[in-house]
Amino acid sequence: MSEEITRVSSKSMDIEQADMEKLKSVFPQCFSEGKLDIDKLLNLCGEYIDNDFEKYKFEWKGKSDCYKIAGQRSLGTLRPCVEESVNFDNTNNIYIEGDNLEVLKLLQTSYYGKIKMIY
């Protein structure tokens, strides 16, 4: 009597591929050569792309990587430096030193709607 062994993959689920399969089943006309044609999908949703190439754009190599980094969660912590601050207990001003993107992501949660100026 031979028992059949079921092998389980050591990899986690490919969520992106699963979502693409869902899109393919609902909007097959938006796929060409196995790839999603985002313009066709947007057109179906009433969003029409203006392909006017005479517009100015702010583009650079690595821009998509920057968006990926900006979207990652920050694990940092903001800590006050009382010794370097001027009148720390009585002022409404806070001096923060650090990587711009990292600090802005940390400020976003705690200080949303409370910041008057960043210099």
Of 51, 70, 96, the residue at which a domain comes to its end is: 51
**Residue 18 located in a structural domain:** yes
| Residue (of 17, 46, 14, 42) closest to 27 by Cα position | 42
In a domain, 94, yes or no: yes
Q: Global pTM?
A: 0.44
How does pLDDT run across 55-98, given as a tens digit for each residue? 677 788 888 888 788 777 788 888 878 888 788 888 877 778 88
Verify that 80 and 46 share a domain, yes or no.
no
- Same domain, yes or no: 65 and 105: yes
How far is it, in rounded angstroms, from Cα 58 to Cα 1?
68
Give the pLDDT band (50/70/90) at residue 31: very high
Residue 27: domain span: 14-51
**Same-domain status, 41 and 84:** no
Domains contained in the chain, number: 2
Pair 80, 39 in one domain: no
